[in-house]
Structure 1
Amino acid sequence: MSAMTDDRIEEAREDRLLRMGEPPRDLGEAWRKLLWILPWLIFLSSPVRDLAAGTHTPAATAAGWAGLAAFTGTYLALIFRNMGRPFPPRVLLCLVAVLGVLAVVLSLTLGGAWVGLFVYVAVVCGTAFPLRVAYWTIPLTTAVMLAVGRIVGAGDMWTMVLLVLLVGFAMSGVRQLVRTTVELRQARATVAQLAANEERLRLARDLHDLLGHSLSLITLKSELAGRMLPAHPDKAAQQVADIEQVSRQALVDVREAVTGYRRPRLTAELAGARVALTAAGVSPGLPAEPDLTGVPEESEAALAWALREAVTNVVRHSGARRCAVEVVRRQTLDGPMLELSVEDDGTGGPGNGPGNGLTGLQERLEKAGGMLEAGRAGRGFRLVARVPAAAPGHVGSPA
């Protein structure tokens, strides 16, 4: 995948509000993660109302507020920290134990209004522990809550049992989803690195094959010219002419190799477009690998540039939810053409006329013998790029 495609994917990823499974990058993201956690503190409303009602002695009320603050702080530390940099196992076990003890003590001393604290214990068990541990700690937490609820006479305990089990195992599933997301992100980076390494090796092999023979021949003819120069200047001049010819051909070969190395490929851009659109939260509708048989390399490269520019505009400016890409062959009066269309349902950006990207893209397509159409289409924006599907002078069959 090309460097520009990687940059586009990274920019789309950076635009997301929250990065699952990763620590906050800055204070602003830390606050956004915290705001995502705070609504789940709704189960603390019952203990807060119990303390505010004034049914306990002043000493019990003060102890209740202190215990509730300690419980909430421990819970937030466990959940917030384990988003990116988990605690060491021993520290984690100690904090979960403290959370469970606080839930038991507060419920037994202050009444049934506090049994909702066990929901947070189950959440921590599901998010902080491995699956094999969460599978027995969540039911254990539920059993302890049921026993405590029976002792303090809490009502509707079976609803709380169901709630604790569902929330605990649901958070365990979310944790596995986060882990899978992180692993996929790492695997994607590894694949991109391997692809870049393979491309470097290919270029190295091409340059070796191209220059090895040419440089050996130049060295040999230079030695011959040096030996012939005193006695046979005409033959030495012929050797020098041969050296010039070989050098020019080697230069042409190197330029062609480097051009092929830098030329974008349509299949690679389609794969990059899928990743970029998905990372930006846009639903991609992409075709299967197109048939590029007989399509000139210049035409394919021009379409690849068009797809890259179009997807970049969708990701950065459109605010779209869906993006459809089609690659089809058409028979026109000008001969067989390969057509790329990119259509989204977004706003299309500020709408102050074509930008530098579209202007440069139109020039690139015209140089390849193609054309560009771009503008509003219904409730979205549509870009259509056409290039010759056959080399000049070659008559293609209609699709």
Structure 2
Amino acid sequence: MSSRVPVIGDTTETRRQKWSKAAMITVWMVFLAGPVTDLWTGGHSGPGIAGAATGLAAFVTAYVVLAYRHTRSPLPGRIVYPLLAVLFTLALVLPLTVGLEWLVLFVYVAVATGAVLPVRQAVVGLLACVLALAAVGTHFGTRPSWDVWTSFVIFCLLGGFALISARKTVLTLRELREARAVVAQLAANEERLRLARDLHDLLGHSLSLITLKSELAGRMLPARPEEAATQVADIQQVSRQALTDVREAISGYRRPTLAVELAGARTALDTAGIAAELPHGPPPVRLTPEREDPLAWALREAVTNVVRHSGATRCTVTLQTPDDSAGMLRLTVTDDGKGPSGAGEGNGLSGLRERLALADGTLSTTAGVNGGFTLSATVPSVP
């Protein structure tokens, strides 16, 4: 079995996500103000301050490794469990030897436990953390416990169970994405099988007939050249028809649709961590396949550019009939990224412009004043 412990989230993929996680961890460090203040104003001896500062530094290091490094890329159990043991031991020793202001360390232990352990182990670890906190905070029952419960135990429970719930939610979302990927792969396999069946049905008879007539023409030569020529003419006719059938079949498979491209755009933007606003339902007007095809290609190209090059956090896709152009359908893709690179129009946009021109459509692009990019593609609808 694997020695890895379940990870709270997926691997951090972008710089923005890394900085966001680091900022969240840094904000939570504000609750260490009590122990830090106690080091300066608690009247401890020099060796006591040195020992407490060393313990606090070790505690923070172990916590950051678990809260940042482990949730980015899971560490093996032989590292995770000793780090949790270090956190728990320091959370026990420092309040007993330095002061009750250090009880806040148990909250960090509870959060780390909920973040990195499987659910059952996390619940057991959280309860052990609460019992230890109550015991140390009340000096093993010799002091009133109300302040300990209201100041630390409640936050310890809330923090621990919140991380357990968050980890379960993230793991569920990951399983959902994996299930979607499996469904997409099964759909692709089914499409390949359908293509294979169609090609077999299209070419099987034609190729058999070509083979039969070729053998027959070979036996007729050189004694009966006229009859052989007739067979050769039949071969040419059958092969041309087979070629026409294959081209029609392949063109139908290659032709994208807006529904399929919108679903693919939603998945691609979600995977890239870009907030997406996309239309639901069919287009507001009816399109012929010849005019829907370039519009679907435009959507694919625009979303691909947003995901790969824009650095955007939000992308909006609309399908609407312009007020100033009756009988037209306009696709608009807008992002809030860094805008165009200034290197001119690439091959992708040039190819889109040519596709749209063949369908009597147009393509336009605009850059925002403070960044961002907008692509608009317009085609005539069916009257």
Alpha carbons of structure 1 residues 307 and 104: separation in structure 2 relative to 1, 3 Å:
same
Note if contact 1:274-1:286 (Cα within 8 Å) is conserved in structure 2.
no
1:272 pairs with 264, 273, 278, which one?
264
Calculate the TM-score normalised by the size of structure 1. 0.78
Query: For residue 326 of structure 1, what is the aligned residue in structure 2?
Result: 319
Query: For residue 50 of structure 1, what is the aligned residue in structure 2?
Result: 38
- SS of residue in 2 equivalent to 1:121: helix
Query: For residue 242 of structure 1, what is the aligned residue in structure 2?
Result: 234
Q: 1:275: how far off?
A: 2.3
Identity %: 49
Calculate the TM-score normalised by the size of structure 2. 0.81
Alpha carbons of structure 1 residues 262 and 325: separation in structure 2 relative to 1, 3 Å:
same
Q: 1:117: how far off?
A: 0.5
The C-alpha deviation readout for 1:233-257, integer Å capped at 9, x for no partner, is 2111100111111112222222222
Alpha carbons of structure 1 residues 65 and 202: separation in structure 2 relative to 1, 3 Å:
same
Total equivalences in the alignment = 369
Q: 1:207: how far off?
A: 2.1
Query: For residue 285 of structure 1, what is the aligned residue in structure 2?
Result: 278
Q: 1:113: how far off?
A: 1.3
CA distance in 1, matches of 2:24, 2:71: 12
Alpha carbons of structure 1 residues 20 and 144: separation in structure 2 relative to 1, 3 Å:
closer
Alpha carbons of structure 1 residues 79 and 191: separation in structure 2 relative to 1, 3 Å:
same
CA distance in 1, matches of 2:350, 2:193: 35
Query: For residue 63 of structure 1, what is the aligned residue in structure 2?
Result: 51
CA distance in 2, matches of 1:358, 1:27: 28
User: Whose relative contact order is higher, 1 or 2, with alpha carbons under 8 Å and at least 6 apart?
Assistant: 1
Aligned: 1:385 with 2:373: no
Q: 1:111: how far off?
A: 1.1
CA distance in 2, matches of 1:87, 1:373: 49
2:207 pairs with 215, 230, 242, which one?
215
Note if contact 1:142-1:164 (Cα within 8 Å) is conserved in structure 2.
yes
Q: 1:115: how far off?
A: 0.4
Q: Which amino acid aligns with 1:339?
A: L
CA distance in 2, matches of 1:347, 1:81: 28
Q: 1:142: how far off?
A: 2.2
CA distance in 1, matches of 2:19, 2:335: 32
CA distance in 1, matches of 2:85, 2:273: 40
Q: Which segments of 5 or more consecutive residues in structure 1 lack a partner in the other structure?
A: 1-18, 391-395
Query: For residue 3 of structure 2, what is the aligned residue in structure 1?
Result: none
CA distance in 1, matches of 2:36, 2:338: 49
Query: For residue 369 of structure 1, what is the aligned residue in structure 2?
Result: 360
Q: Give RMSD over aligned pairs.
A: 3.7
Aligned: 1:110 with 2:103: no
The C-alpha deviation readout for 1:154-207, integer Å capped at 9, x for no partner, is 994212222212211122222123323332333343333333333332332222
Q: Which amino acid aligns with 1:219?
A: T
CA distance in 2, matches of 1:209, 1:296: 27
Note if contact 1:348-1:376 (Cα within 8 Å) is conserved in structure 2.
no
Note if contact 1:320-1:346 (Cα within 8 Å) is conserved in structure 2.
yes
CA distance in 2, matches of 1:240, 1:73: 83
Query: For residue 4 of structure 2, what is the aligned residue in structure 1?
Result: none
The C-alpha deviation readout for 1:326-350, integer Å capped at 9, x for no partner, is 25699x88xxx56133254748935
Alpha carbons of structure 1 residues 32 and 296: separation in structure 2 relative to 1, 3 Å:
closer
Note if contact 1:218-1:246 (Cα within 8 Å) is conserved in structure 2.
yes
CA distance in 1, matches of 2:376, 2:60: 56
CA distance in 1, matches of 2:56, 2:78: 23
CA distance in 2, matches of 1:376, 1:57: 64
